[in-house]
Homo-oligomer: A and B are copies of this chain.
Amino acid sequence: MGRTRGFDTEQALDAALETFWVHGYDASSMPELCRAMGIQPGSAYAAFGSKRDLFRAALQRYARTVSSEAVLGLTSSPSGLDGLRSYFDDLVEAMVDGRRRWGCLITNSLVEFAERDPDLAGVFDLHLANLEAAFEAALTRAKAAGDLRSGAGPEQAKLLVAVVQGMNVLAKARPGRPALRSVADAALAGLVAAPDAPRLSDRCGYLQD
């Protein structure tokens, strides 16, 4: 009983998420967040607790939606190499045109918050570990299929995580598609390269455009 909530909590959370994503935590004031969410401070505090709690909820929503959707493309493909290619293709396009032009909320937050909120460290570590595990699985499948150069394997997963974090940083400088492609292509080239005998691999689309 009592008055029913006049706004959709998840929709409001998405609005806050985008504000945090674009401007960061400190640079997003409560008045601005409330404007984005379309509600008043009182409602925001009643629904979410505090600015920090709202941020935590937004981070977790991001991990559950945006981030895990991207990882899904990596794990769902039967071919490990195709999964890797499509992951990086989507990443580049989202950074040029889409929402990733503001980088990655988790990367941004890791940089902004690592020294401040130990509670959030768990969220960051979990996200990085998930990404690494997905890369590891894809690399294992790719290796089993004979798509990797000898010497390359699942132990390159940490490198790919670092490359993705680096691209998230570079994306904020709006470098344009060619520069981002160049990073992604070079990262994959280091894995699949058939250095002296190009015909070793029957999959050779990685330089296609």
Contact = CB atoms under 8 A, between A and B. Distances in A.
Given A158-B183, A161-B170, 4 more contacts: A23-B115, A102-B115, A152-B193, A164-B166
Interface residues of A, number: 52
A196 B194 CA distance: 10
A129 B168 CA distance: 17
A110 to B, nearest CB: 6
B170 A182 contact: no
Interface string A96-138: 0000001100011011101110000100110010000000000
Interface of A is mostly: helix
Contacts of A161: 166, 170, 183
Interface string A166-197: 11111011100001001100110111010111
Contacts of A22: 115
Interface of A: 22-24, 26-27, 102-103, 107-108, 110-112, 114-116, 121, 124-125, 128, 149-152, 155-156, 158-159, 161-170, 172-174, 179, 182-183, 186-187, 189-191, 193, 195-197
B195 A182 contact: no
Contacts of A187: 159, 162, 190
Nearest to A168: B169
A102 B156 CA distance: 24
B26 A151 contact: no
Contact of A196 (B27, B110, B150): B150
Given A183-B162, A186-B156, A195-B149, A111 B115 contact: no
